[in-house]
């Protein structure tokens, strides 16, 4: 895996038609944009959710398109694609500059006429039906009586009616709701076609069962089947591939731990109400999850950042445990150094890189991990009594972050441990209001951080894009094919990874079918 930093000025000739030769700077801008598009699977950043546009004019972009072999072969089709997308590619209308719901951005999880209130109403109805919103999209239309109809589309190969997965139209709180399936059917059919091939090469029964349940989930639109597949996935313990002191702990023991206190459908509880006490108050448990409620349905927009913060905190806390570090192959002084670097890296990230993901104009965070890391950094800064300090060493130019290595195993462990108790208690009891208060305390960019973000932005570096290798069959062997760390290498890797246009054709057809649900976004772009 190589990092492609395209500021190097390397511009090997990718095409030899006259526009490239006469205007090499246009070529480079076009290739960089195309490479970034492939790397992010779209024109919004995979980390940060903000839009990026080409660094060349619309007219120059069109000139390059019309110089292509694709245009020479089928100019009518290429012209149609360009005309349908050119305004959306270049538009910087506020709503189109980031991903989000309603006036906060664009999303295809909801039709563009859905508001945040609509989203809350849909969540309320789905809760009554015990539906989790992981494999569905929601489109709003208006019925003859003027009431909205929310159609929840389940992603699946099968499109026929199949209760209780699908549901006929019913009224709830002055709106209609129905559940259908078959969303993205052509793509999921391709996925299952290849997953069936993968079964033949599975290493053990866990892998085979995992794939079979995933296939059934994608075929039927049944989320419970996907969960069952994941249960087999976590049993598949080899080969061990994770070598990083934070990622392993974050994913397995962070996200993989923590009980939710719940009231069952029959009125019983999954905990002893008489004995279990709230560790933050010492009193009896006063809130929990009721039937049909999930963590995501209760915590909604706060949920991702809150959960990422909990997982990162688990990684920090456990990285101070000698027996944990020994599992990763570190002991003695080396283990202490690894723990220190782990803390320093994450807290520096929270101070520097994370604040790039904050949008001052809307006072919102564009990325859950970024907000989570900023919260942990501010926690240690505010509660550590000098454990972590940030100082403006050059006014308006440079900040210095200092972390006291000698206090990590004592004060650091105590601060993060106490915070973890808060995070887990709030999550376990479904206390959203307290969670929001806690995060508001630590994730606001007040002075001096609102000003220090400007210093961070002065030092912002172009984002690395990773050029992925491909595997190629050579008889009975498999060969790993790598590519240059350049825009051309990125494009070549993607083109060779997807030699057929079958997926592109399907995506175009799906986009045309959904077009009517997003017309107002085109009007914004115009």
Catalytic residues: 251
- The number of residues making up the chain comes to 526
Residue 207 CB burial class (10 angstroms; 0-12, 13-18, ≥19): middle
CB atoms inside a 10 Å sphere around CB 378: 22
Q: What share of the chain is helix, strand, coil (3-state, %, to 5)?
A: 55, 15, 35
Helix (H) or strand (E) holding 191: helix 185-199
Q: What is the DSSP letter of 111?
A: -
Residue 244: φ, ψ to 5°: -85, 130
Q: According to the 3-state scheme, what is the secondary structure of 425-476?
A: HHHHHCCHHHHHHHHHHHHCCCCCHHHHHHHHHHCCCCCCEEECCEEEEECC
Residue 260: φ, ψ to 5°: -100, 130
Torsion region of 292: left, alpha or beta (phi above 0 gives left; psi -120 to 50 gives alpha): left
With contact defined as beta carbons under 8 Å apart, do 353 and 370 qualify? yes
What residues form DSSP beta bridges with 298?
A: none
With contact defined as beta carbons under 8 Å apart, do 228 and 213 qualify? yes
Cα–Cα distances (Å) from 374 to 368, 469, 471, in that order, read 10, 33, 38
What residues form DSSP beta bridges with 139?
A: 151
Q: Distance from CA of residue 252 to its chain's centroid?
A: 18
Q: What is the DSSP letter of 260?
A: P
With contact defined as beta carbons under 8 Å apart, do 371 and 365 qualify? yes
User: Structure tokens of 404?
Assistant: 């006291």
Helix (H) or strand (E) holding 400: strand 398-403
Rg (CA), the chain: 26
What crossing angle do the helices spanning 368-383 and 413-429 adopt, rounded to 10°? 130
């Amino acid at each position: 895996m190589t990092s492609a930093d395209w500021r190097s000025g390397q511009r090997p000739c990718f095409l030899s038609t006259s526009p490239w030769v006469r205007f090499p700077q246009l070529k480079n801008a076009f290739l960089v944009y195309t490479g970034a598009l492939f790397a992010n699977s779209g024109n919004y950043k995979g980390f940060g959710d903000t839009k990026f546009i080409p660094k060349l004019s619309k007219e120059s972009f069109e000139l390059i398109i019309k110089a292509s072999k694709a245009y020479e072969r089928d100019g009518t089709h290429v012209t149609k694609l360009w005309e349908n997308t050119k305004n959306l590619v270049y538009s910087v209308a506020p709503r189109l500059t980031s991903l989000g719901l309603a006036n906060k951005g664009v999303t295809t999880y909801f039709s563009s006429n859905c508001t945040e209130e609509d989203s809350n109403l849909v969540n309320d109805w789905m809760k009554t039906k015990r539906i989790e919103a992981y494999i569905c999209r929601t489109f709003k239309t208006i019925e003859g009586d003027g009431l909205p109809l929310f159609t929840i589309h389940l992603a699946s190969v099968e499109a026929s009616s199949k209760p209780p997965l699908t549901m006929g139209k019913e009224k709830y709180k002055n709106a209609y709701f129905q559940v259908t399936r078959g969303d993205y059917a052509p793509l999921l059919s391709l996925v299952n076609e290849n997953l069936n091939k993968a079964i033949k090469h599975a290493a053990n029964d866990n892998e085979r069962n995992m794939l079979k349940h995933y296939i059934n989930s994608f075929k039927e639109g049944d989320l419970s089947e996907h969960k069952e597949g994941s249960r087999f996935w976590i049993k598949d313990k080899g080969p061990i591939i994770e070598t990083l002191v934070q990622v392993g702990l974050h994913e397995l023991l962070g996200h993989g731990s923590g009980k939710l206190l719940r009231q069952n459908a029959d009125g019983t509880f999954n905990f002893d109400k008489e004995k279990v006490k709230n560790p933050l108050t010492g009193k009896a448990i006063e809130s929990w999850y009721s039937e049909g409620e999930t963590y995501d349905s209760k915590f909604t927009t706060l949920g991702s950042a809150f959960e990422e913060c909990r997982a990162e905190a688990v990684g920090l806390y456990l990285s101070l445990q000698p027996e944990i570090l020994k599992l990763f192959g570190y002991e003695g002084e080396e283990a202490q150094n690894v723990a220190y670097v782990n803390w320093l890296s994450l807290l520096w990230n929270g101070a520097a890189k994370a604040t790039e993901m904050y949008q001052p104009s809307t006072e919102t965070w564009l990325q859950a991990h970024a907000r989570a890391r900023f919260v942990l950094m501010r926690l240690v800064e505010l509660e550590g009594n000098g454990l972590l300090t940030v100082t403006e060493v050059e006014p308006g130019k440079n900040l210095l972050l200092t972390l006291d290595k000698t206090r990590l195993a004592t004060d650091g462990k105590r601060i993060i441990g106490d915070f973890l108790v808060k995070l887990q208690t709030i999550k376990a009891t479904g206390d959203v209001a307290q969670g929001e208060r806690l995060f508001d305390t630590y994730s606001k960019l007040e002075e001096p951080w609102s000003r220090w973000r400007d210093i961070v932005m002065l030092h912002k570096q172009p984002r690395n894009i990773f050029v992925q290798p491909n595997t190629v069959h050579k008889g009975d062997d498999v060969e790993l094919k790598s590519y240059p760390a350049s825009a051309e290498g990125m494009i070549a890797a993607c083109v060779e990874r997807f030699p057929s246009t079958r997926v592109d054709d399907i995506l175009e057809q799906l986009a045309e079918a959904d077009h009517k649900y997003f017309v107002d976004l085109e009007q914004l772009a115009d």
